[in-house]
A and B are shown apart, each in its own frame.
Chain A
Amino acid sequence: MSQLSITLLRMGFLVLLWTLVLSAIAVLRADLYGTRITARGRGRESRREHDARAEKTASPSRAATGIRTGSISTKDPSAGHLAVTSGPLKGTTIPLGTAPVLVGRASTCTLVIDDDYCSARHCRIYLEGDRWMVEDLGSTNGTYLGNQKVTDPVPFREGDVIRIGATALELRG
């Protein structure tokens, strides 16, 4: 073999080695396995999972933020979502579409809160025109928007916080 082909083979080996390394990395890139967070309408079944997660994130260091945003995939991202910022379901987010959200202790509710201070059917969050409203459904311990107790339906704006027992819900864009 000529000197040229030997040199080419020598360099070719290094090229081949790096091809292997880079294609291994390419396979890894295509192989991002793991979990995906999806929207689901029913409350009961998924509640257990969230309880487990809420316990895990209950460390005080996370208390300031608590919510995982950005990892939620909703069908309509402009619709915003409801975030639970404290209480046993802390960290849960509910994407908002057009359907009303029923909050309470009963298993038929959209957001089921296991809290002694929460009534079976506690309050309702619904869309009126293009704004969200919150309405108390005759709960024993009341629903609070900010410091105000909710009696009649009141507008629920982005950034507002509703308190139900130990749970706080925030509307986010």
Chain B
Amino acid sequence: MATVSDVMVRTGRRGELGLLGLAVAVAVLARGLVDYHADFLELDELAIYAAAWAAVAGAIHLAIRRWASYADPVLVPAVLALNGIGLAMIRRIDFAYASRGRETDFGQVQIIWTLLGIGLALGVLLLVRDYRLLRRFTYTAGLVGLIGLLLPLMPVIGTQINGARIWINVFGKSLQPGEFAKIAFVVFFAGYLVSNRDTLALAGPKILGMRFPRPRDMGPLALVWVAAMLVQIYERDLGTSLLLFGIFVAMLYVATERLSWVVLGLGMFGVGAVLAGTLFSHVGSRYTAWLHALDSAVYSSGASEQLVRGLFGMASGGLFGTGLGEGRPDLVPYAESDFIVASLGEELGLTGLMAILTLYVIIVQRAMRTAIGVRHGFGKLLAAGLGFAIALQVFIVVGGVTRVIPLTGLTTPFLAYGGSSMLANWIIVGLLLRISDQARRPEAVTP
């Protein structure tokens, strides 16, 4: 009789060690090139930096061996490489600003955020020994997410920076609670959908060969849609609303296998986006800057200046880039955060940018593979949701910078300057490591 059995799984820890070595080499060489072109290269300092990177990578490796020995071997090296490239690029932009008389220390701050983020990821591994534990906090997570989204609107702690009210002030540091709300919402959606997917998938009338859900089952979708639209209206944050809604629709599709949800979701977002574009001037001006970016009237009014400068930067990079430290990425406003993709495109060229995007593809693919491998429905949805969170965020940022979609202010995961994003994305990595560890662990080893 044919039976289904698990293959002896390779833990892949040795492969991970080799990849970590390569990732450290990428990070150190990037910084070396940046320092050399800024006439700042001191080999002693570079050696210390290299040793620190090796120590951090080694610590992560040992922690994974100890606490999640079957975790995915490719995830951490890919993330560390992206992080290293980001650190070098931010430092390079610091130098560029300094040569124009603007003193910034984004690079140093970002190193601290990176270390904190890695610490958080290891903390997640240590604290969450079984991801199924998170299912108990389904509705708590939903509430936490909602509060996180609403915090910036509070009078005292909420602050408005560059027209978007998405920051809060804590201990003199500004944080974006929306980044963390994203994770809480993924936990909530996963827990909610794993309990309710059958009613969402099976009941309802059939129109044009697609089974549409019953109106009363539409409640959660409508609720999240309204929440996303409110965020867009009150906080002027197009990116987060698009991200949240995208994650929800993707997870609904994963949970129910019904294309009708995707059609409905895209339709609702389309209606919402058009309405917002006609009703609110700040959204409308984004659309204009996107569609008519190269019109001289739009450009000289300043609406599309950043976008167009980024495009020219990437164009001057060409196929192989100007080389790290040899371009002028600082000519683009916010070259270290929103437009770090354009900066990288200029200095590493299409070849380098494609490598970076492939690293993201690998990370997302690992999340999806974990979702396929894990046995528990909640874990499947959680892993898929976290994967979609990273994928959509990269799409929204890179799409905005390359003028595929309207520009919105989201951070590029692991690359861009920004503490909240760094911490939140490392938490996602910690969760994915935990789920993949449980997905790949052979049945017999599980207690």
A10 touches B323 (CB 8 A): yes
Distance of A93 Cα from B73 Cα, bound (Å)? 35
* A50 cross-chain contacts in B, Cβ below 8 A: 1
- Contact status of A33 and B7, CB under 8 A, knowing A1-B36, A9-B33, A13-B30: yes
* A19 cross-chain contacts in B, Cβ below 8 A: 22
A93 touches B2 (CB 8 A): yes
Interface size bucket, B side?
35 or more
Distance of A20 Cα from B363 Cα, bound (Å)? 13
Taking the complex as formed, is A31 at the interface, i.e. its CB lies under 8 A from any CB of chain B? yes
B241 to chain A, nearest CB (A): 32
How many residues belonging to A are interface residues under a CB distance threshold of 8 Å? 44
B2 touches A92 (CB 8 A): yes
**Per DSSP, are chain B's interface residues mostly helix, strand or loop, or mixed?**
helix
B323 touches A6 (CB 8 A): yes
Distance of A11 Cα from B356 Cα, bound (Å)? 15
- How many contacts between A and B, using CB within 8 angstroms? 129
Contact segment of A35-43, A126-134, A150-158: A35-43
**B 318-344 to A, binary, CB cutoff 8 A, 1 in contact else 0:** 001101101000000000000000000
Taking the complex as formed, is A70 at the interface, i.e. its CB lies under 8 A from any CB of chain B? no
B36 touches A94 (CB 8 A): no
Closest to A27 in B: B15
B377 to chain A, nearest CB (A): 13
**B 1-42 to A, binary, CB cutoff 8 A, 1 in contact else 0:** 111111101101001101100110110011001001000000
Instruction: List residues 1-39 of chain A with CB under 8 A from any CB of chain B.
Output: 1, 6-7, 9-14, 16-21, 23-25, 27-28, 30-31, 33-39
Distance of A27 Cα from B11 Cα, bound (Å)? 11
Distance of A25 Cα from B36 Cα, bound (Å)? 31
* B30 cross-chain contacts in A, Cβ below 8 A: 13
* B351 cross-chain contacts in A, Cβ below 8 A: 14, 18
A43 touches B10 (CB 8 A): no
Taking the complex as formed, is B373 at the interface, i.e. its CB lies under 8 A from any CB of chain A? yes
B19 touches A23 (CB 8 A): yes
* A49 cross-chain contacts in B, Cβ below 8 A: 3-4
Q: Which of A13, A21, A36 contacts B362 (CB 8 A)?
A: A21
Interface centre among B5, B9, B349 (most CB of A within 10 A): B5
Taking the complex as formed, is B359 at the interface, i.e. its CB lies under 8 A from any CB of chain A? yes
A25 touches B362 (CB 8 A): yes
B5 touches A38 (CB 8 A): yes
Closest to A71 in B: B2
Taking the complex as formed, is A58 at the interface, i.e. its CB lies under 8 A from any CB of chain B? no
Instruction: List residues 66-112 of chain B with CB under 8 A from any CB of chain A.
Output: 73-74, 77-78, 81, 85
Taking the complex as formed, is A106 at the interface, i.e. its CB lies under 8 A from any CB of chain B? no
Taking the complex as formed, is A111 at the interface, i.e. its CB lies under 8 A from any CB of chain B? yes
Closest to A83 in B: B2
Q: Which of A17, A36, A46, A53 contacts B26 (CB 8 A)?
A: A17
Distance of A92 Cα from B30 Cα, bound (Å)? 55
Distance of A35 Cα from B5 Cα, bound (Å)? 6
Q: Which of B4, B348, B358 contacts A14 (CB 8 A)?
A: B348
Taking the complex as formed, is B204 at the interface, i.e. its CB lies under 8 A from any CB of chain A? no
B177 to chain A, nearest CB (A): 33
Interface centre among B2, B3, B362, B366 (most CB of A within 10 A): B2
- Contact status of A38 and B3, CB under 8 A, knowing A14-B320, A25-B362, A28-B362: yes
A39 touches B12 (CB 8 A): no
- Contact status of A27 and B73, CB under 8 A, knowing A16-B22, A33-B10: yes
Closest to A26 in B: B15
* B19 cross-chain contacts in A, Cβ below 8 A: 20, 23-24, 27
Distance of A70 Cα from B1 Cα, bound (Å)? 15
A20 touches B22 (CB 8 A): yes
* A13 cross-chain contacts in B, Cβ below 8 A: 26, 29-30, 33, 324, 348, 352
Taking the complex as formed, is A86 at the interface, i.e. its CB lies under 8 A from any CB of chain B? no
B1 touches A40 (CB 8 A): yes
* A72 cross-chain contacts in B, Cβ below 8 A: 2
A94 touches B352 (CB 8 A): no
Taking the complex as formed, is B440 at the interface, i.e. its CB lies under 8 A from any CB of chain A? yes
Distance of A17 Cα from B89 Cα, bound (Å)? 15
A16 touches B25 (CB 8 A): yes
* B4 cross-chain contacts in A, Cβ below 8 A: 35-37, 49, 53
Taking the complex as formed, is B47 at the interface, i.e. its CB lies under 8 A from any CB of chain A? no
Closest to A44 in B: B1
Taking the complex as formed, is B62 at the interface, i.e. its CB lies under 8 A from any CB of chain A? no
A21 touches B352 (CB 8 A): no
Distance of A18 Cα from B71 Cα, bound (Å)? 24
**B 365-384 to A, binary, CB cutoff 8 A, 1 in contact else 0:** 11000000100000000000
Instruction: List residues 111-156 of chain A with CB under 8 A from any CB of chain B.
Output: 111
B352 touches A34 (CB 8 A): no
Closest 9 CB pairs of A and B: A10-B323, A27-B15, A17-B355, A20-B22, A46-B3, A33-B9, A40-B3, A36-B7, A24-B74
Task: Name 5 interchain pairs, CB-CB below 8 A, sorted by A.
Answer: A14-B348, A16-B29, A28-B74, A30-B12, A41-B1
Residues of B within 8 A of A (CB): 1-7, 9-10, 12, 15-16, 18-19, 22-23, 25-26, 29-30, 33, 36, 73-74, 77-78, 81, 85, 320-321, 323-324, 326, 348-349, 351-352, 355-356, 358-359, 362, 365-366, 373, 440
18 additional contacts (CB under 8 A) given A10-B323, A16-B29? A14-B320, A14-B321, A16-B26, A17-B26, A17-B352, A21-B358, A21-B362, A31-B10, A31-B73, A34-B6, A34-B7, A36-B7, A37-B3, A37-B5, A39-B2, A40-B1, A40-B3, A46-B3
